[in-house]
C-alpha cells in the first residue's frame, strides 16, 4: 500500500479536479459526458482491515465501478456522536490519530467526475486495541450540594488518567458495605457532577465515586461522602404587600407554615429576572441567584416556623417582577396578594 502522505496529496488533487469540473458546469464549459452523467457509481466492496495498532488503522476495499469513471473515495471515521472525514483516490487508506480502545465505525463511498455519489456504502465497526495498561487514580472525595428531600447533587475532582477516561460511576453504599450504582457520568464532554434522585426524605445516605477508563480499567473508590436529605417539603402560604414605583418596588412577604410539623431552618426562592437588581433585603440573607430565581435563607432569629407560625421578610428591587412562585425548602407556597 502506498504511503499515506502520498495518497493524501493525490486525494487533494482529486478533490480539486472535482471542484474544477463543478465550476466548469456553471461556466458552461463542462465536457459533454460530465454534463450528462447522472449515473451513480456502484458502492465500494466490503471494507477490510489490513493492519491496526492502538492509534492507527489501514483499510482497503474493492473498487467501485462507474459508467464514466470513479475519481475518489470519501472515507468517514465515527466515534459515538463525533466523526472525521478523509478522502483518497485509491482503494485503501491509513488513518492516524485514533484513540486506543475506542470503537469506531468506518465508512467508504465512491464519487465520479460529475459529483455522483454511491448509495448503500459499506461500513465496518472496529474496536481499537488497548493502549492503556494502567488504571486511573481515585476521584476526589465527592461534595454534596443542593440537598433536597428526594435528591442531592454531588461533585468531585477529576481522576488522574494516562490515556482517556470513559466515565465515572457513582455508588450508594448500603448496609454491610454493598454498592448500588445510582449514576453514570460519561466523559463526552467531561463532567464531574451528577444529581442522584429518587431518595427518601429525612434519610442519611453515603456515596462513593469510581472512574473507568476507555480500556475498562477501574480506579480505586473515592473517599465517601455522607449526606442527610431534607424533610418533606412543608406546606406554606405567602401573603405579599407590594408598593411600586416606575423603576422598582418594595415587597413585604409574610410566610406561614400551614403544615403540621415545624420548619426548622428554611431556604426560600422566588422568580427574579436576570436584569433585575436587588437593592435591599431584610429578614433573610442571599444564598445565590440561580437562572431566573433568587434564593435566600433565614437569619439567626427566624429559622424556626412552628405550625401556624409566620415569618416576615422584605425585598427592594428594580424592575416590575415581584416575588412569584415562592418555595420554602422545595415546597411551593400558595400565594395570596393584598
Which grid coordinates belong to 214?
476507555
How many whole angstroms separate alpha carbon 235 and alpha carbon 232?
Answer: 9
The pLDDT score that the predictor gives to residue 216 is: 84
143-228 has which fold?
A: Immunoglobulin-like (2.60.40)
167: its cell numbers: 466515565
**pLDDT interval class at 289 (50, 70, 90):** confident
Question: Is 27 a residue whose pLDDT tops 80?
Answer: no
Give Cβ neighbours of residue 68 (< 8 Å, ≥ 6 apart): 33, 34, 37, 39, 112, 113, 114
pLDDT at 148: 87
The answer as to CATH 2.60.40.290 being correct for domain 236-337 is yes
Q: How many alpha carbons lie under 13 Å from residue 324 in its C-beta half-sphere?
A: 5
What pTM, to 2 d.p., does this model score?
0.48
CATH 2.60.40.10 residue window(s) in the chain: 4-127, 143-228
What's the CA gap between 288 and 294, in Å, rounded? 6
- Give the homologous superfamily in CATH for domain 4-127: Immunoglobulins (2.60.40.10)
294-309: average pLDDT: 95
Does the pLDDT value for residue 91 go beyond 60?
yes
Alpha helices by DSSP H, the chain: 4-27, 32-36
**What residue ranges of the chain are covered by domains with CATH 2.60.40.290?**
236-337
Report in angstroms the alpha-carbon separations of 124 from 49, 59, 77, 107, 111.
9, 10, 10, 7, 19
Amino acid at each position: 500500500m502506498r504511503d499515506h502522505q502520498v495518497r493524501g496529496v493525490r486525494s487533494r488533487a482529486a478533490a480539486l479536479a472535482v471542484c474544477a469540473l463543478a465550476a466548469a458546469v456553471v461556466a458552461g464549459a463542462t465536457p459533454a459526458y460530465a454534463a450528462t452523467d447522472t449515473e451513480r457509481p456502484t458502492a465500494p466492496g466490503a471494507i477490510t482491515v489490513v493492519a491496526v495498532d492502538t492509534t492507527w488503522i489501514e483499510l482497503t476495499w474493492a473498487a467501485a465501478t462507474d459508467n464514466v469513471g470513479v475519481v475518489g473515495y470519501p472515507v468517514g471515521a465515527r466515534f459515538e456522536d463525533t466523526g472525521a472525514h478523509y478522502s483518497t483516490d485509491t482503494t485503501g487508506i491509513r488513518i492516524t490519530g485514533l484513540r486506543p480502545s475506542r470503537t469506531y465505525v468506518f465508512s467508504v463511498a465512491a464519487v465520479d467526475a460529475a459529483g455522483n455519489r454511491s448509495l448503500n456504502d459499506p461500513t465496518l465497526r472496529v474496536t481499537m486495541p488497548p493502549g492503556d495498561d494502567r488504571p486511573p487514580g481515585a476521584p476526589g472525595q465527592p461534595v454534596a450540594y443542593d440537598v433536597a428531600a428526594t435528591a442531592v447533587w454531588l461533585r468531585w475532582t477529576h481522576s488522574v488518567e494516562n490515556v482517556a477516561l470513559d466515565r465515572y460511576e457513582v455508588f450508594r453504599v448500603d448496609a454491610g458495605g454493598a454498592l448500588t450504582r445510582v449514576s453514570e457520568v460519561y466523559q463526552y464532554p467531561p463532567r464531574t457532577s451528577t444529581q442522584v434522585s429518587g431518595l427518601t426524605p429525612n434519610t442519611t445516605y453515603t456515596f462513593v465515586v469510581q472512574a473507568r477508563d476507555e480500556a475498562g480499567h477501574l480506579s480505586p473508590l473515592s473517599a465517601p461522602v455522607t449526606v442527610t436529605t431534607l424533610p418533606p417539603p412543608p406546606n406554606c402560604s405567602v401573603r405579599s404587600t407590594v408598593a411600586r414605583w416606575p423603576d422598582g418596588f418594595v415587597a413585604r412577604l409574610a410566610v406561614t407554615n400551614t403544615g403540621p410539623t415545624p420548619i426548622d431552618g428554611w431556604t426560600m426562592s422566588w422568580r427574579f429576572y436576570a436584569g433585575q437588581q436587588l437593592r435591599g433585603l431584610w429578614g433573610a440573607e442571599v444564598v445565590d441567584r440561580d437562572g431566573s430565581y433568587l434564593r435566600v435563607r433565614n437569619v439567626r432569629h427566624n429559622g424556626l416556623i412552628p405550625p401556624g407560625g409566620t415569618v416576615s421578610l422584605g425585598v427592594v428591587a428594580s424592575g416590575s417582577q415581584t416575588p412569584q412562585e415562592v418555595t420554602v425548602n422545595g415546597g411551593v407556597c400558595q400565594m395570596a396578594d393584598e
